[in-house]
Amino acid sequence: MEADCIFCKIVAGEIPAQILEQDQHTLTFMDIAPATRGHALVIPKRHATDLWEIEPAELSAVAQAAQRQSLRVRDRLGADGVNLLNSCRPAAWQTVFHFHMHVIPRYAGDPLKLPWEPIPGDMDEIAAAAAELR
């Protein structure tokens, strides 16, 4: 547990939260600044700062809990779709430095927009990046 981490404090019961589910490794609770109705967060109970630091087994447990939550919003709230979102480091919009996955229910006509406009990329640059990543 990190002493100044708000999510660690939720895990410890020091800060109240609308908890939806928990198991040995994860905690799922409602986001207090929801993007849509039913927006929840899934976190590992053990502190990991971000995607680059979380242990693979804990990442798997979070992904499985996120899938369970996505099925609940489909079945209980009538969501038409779902976004799973993780932000890793400030450059990628991370603001709470305890790994978490957003489960954002999507409804036809809701006001959320993609954070970028998908347009065709430069094929030479795509190939160059792919070569560096292989």
Q: Long-range contact list for 75-81, CB < 8 A, 24+ apart?
A: 77/37, 77/38, 77/105, 78/107, 79/38, 79/105, 79/106, 79/107, 80/106, 80/107, 80/108, 81/105, 81/106
61 has pLDDT over 90? yes
The predicted pLDDT at position 20 comes to 98
pTM of the full structure: 0.94
Q: Which residues are catalytic?
A: 100
The predicted pLDDT at position 116 comes to 84
Residue 59: partners with Cβ closer than 8 Å, 6 or more residues away? 44, 51, 99
The 10s digit of each residue's pLDDT in 65-122 is 999 999 999 999 999 999 999 999 999 999 999 999 999 999 999 999 988 888 999 9
